[in-house]
Amino acid sequence: MTELFLADTSALVRYFRRQSDPNWDHVVAAGRIGICEPVRQEYLRAAGARSAYYEADSLLQETFPYYVVRDDVWDGTAALQHRLAEKSWHQSASPVDLLVAATAAHHELTVLHADTDFETIARLTGQPVRRID
């Protein structure tokens, strides 16, 4: 089975800055890396001028499949944060990290990241994660 990914913002930043292995270009071209709305918004928040925002948004839409964040994913984020709190790890993952992890779990995707918070989540949940390095 071909591995499919949900990219975190940290992975997008590394990818677009060319700070990742060039082999990821083939994975992107094959449509195997997608994004979700929280990642899209977080990435676009860093865009400079208005024109840069629209260019970046178009690039994201043309390049990456889009995975919907279902309403019930919020329940998953609350449960995940609670589980992290049981280990005193609750301050590691941001709300966006929790949404990405829960969305990836819902769609049975591997989280692609450059953020150690996803390693922490994976230690707890066992869900697949992979660094983009």
Annotated binding site: 8, 97
What is the C-alpha separation between 111 and 113, in angstroms, rounded? Answer: 6
Question: Helices marked H in 64-108 — which ranges?
Answer: 73-86, 95-107
What is the C-alpha separation between 112 and 79, in angstroms, rounded? Answer: 22
What is the identity of the amino acid at 115? D
Q: Could you list the residues known to form a binding site for Mg(2+), using ranges.
A: 8, 97
Which tokens go with 127?
């869900």
